[in-house]
Amino acid sequence: MRLSGNQKNILKAIGACLLIGTALIAPNILQIIKPKGSKDRYKFKKTIKKLFDDKVIYLSGEKIELTNKGVLLMKQAQVEDIQISGWKNKEKWNSVWHLVCYDIPEKFKKERDYFRRKLIESNFYQIQLSLWVYPYNCKEEIAIIAQNLGIAPFVAYLNTDYLPQQNKLLDRFGLIK
């Protein structure tokens, strides 16, 4: 399921409440995140209704609860915010290649496809079918993404100072050795 910007923001707000110690049921969260203007309130109510109709949230009076589907979508929204930087920020390369490899079972196909898309949009280079390389340290970001997607046991992160096609990779990432 694709989430709109408003849906993502609402799920992130609920997720933030969960992180600061409230239970899966966040009492009065709707009052906290409810917009002030009448036009914005209309959009807000429409978004909440859509999340409820899609069984992402469960409403009970002033309480809101994430369903299992809601928890997964909230984690996905959080993963979308993770940016793997490095060569875009012109960091100095330390001559270490960072490899991400995975063997994710078919029952996690959606998560595997999403993980692969995240690697592609982060400008990783695919060496083999499930082996990707990046010139800068991104161990924490990869660990968070894999953990949130529930695929951490199937993802490995490795470092090496030499790769067979290193010259091609140096050109690809605009690095000078």
H/E run at residue 29: helix 29-33
- Average pLDDT of the segment spanning 49-75: 81
CA dihedral angle for residue 110, residue 100, residue 138, residue 142, rounded to 10 degrees: 30
Which pLDDT band holds residue 125 (cuts at 50, 70, 90)? very high
Q: Are 86 and 136 in contact (CB under 8 A)?
A: yes
Output the average pLDDT for the chain: 81
Question: Is 60 exceeded by the pLDDT of residue 59?
Answer: yes
Q: pLDDT value at position 143?
A: 93
Question: Are 55 and 114 within one domain?
Answer: no
Q: Are 55 and 72 in contact (CB under 8 A)?
A: no
Q: pLDDT value at position 25?
A: 47
Question: Are 93 and 61 within one domain?
Answer: no
Q: How many domains is the chain built from?
A: 2
Count each helix (H run) and each strand (E run) in the chain, helices first. 7, 7
Instruction: Give, in degrees to the nearest 5, the angle at Cα 11 between 7 and 15.
Output: 170
| pTM for this predicted structure | 0.68
SS3 156: strand
Question: Is 70 exceeded by the pLDDT of residue 32?
Answer: no
- Average pLDDT of the segment spanning 97-108: 96
The whole-angstrom separation of Cα 9 and Cα 13 is 6
Question: Are 149 and 99 within one domain?
Answer: yes
Question: Are 100 and 162 within one domain?
Answer: yes
% residues pLDDT > 70 (the chain): 79
Task: Give the best-scoring range by mean pLDDT among 4-18, 84-98, 126-140.
Answer: 126-140
Question: Are 28 and 93 within one domain?
Answer: no
The phi-psi region of residue 54 (left if phi > 0; otherwise alpha if psi is between -120 and 50; otherwise beta) is: alpha
Question: Is 80 exceeded by the pLDDT of residue 107?
Answer: yes
Range of the structural domain that residue 24 is part of: 5-79
Tens of pLDDT, residue by residue over 10-29, are 777 776 665 444 444 455 55
Question: Are 99 and 169 within one domain?
Answer: yes
Question: Are 123 and 164 within one domain?
Answer: yes
Q: Which of 79, 96, 111 is the last residue of a domain?
A: 79
Nearest Cα to 86, choosing from 136, 151, 129?
136
What is the DSSP code (8-state) at residue 81? T
Question: Are 70 and 108 within one domain?
Answer: no
What CATH number should be reported for the domain holding residue 73?
Answer: 1.10.10.10
Question: Is 60 exceeded by the pLDDT of residue 87?
Answer: no
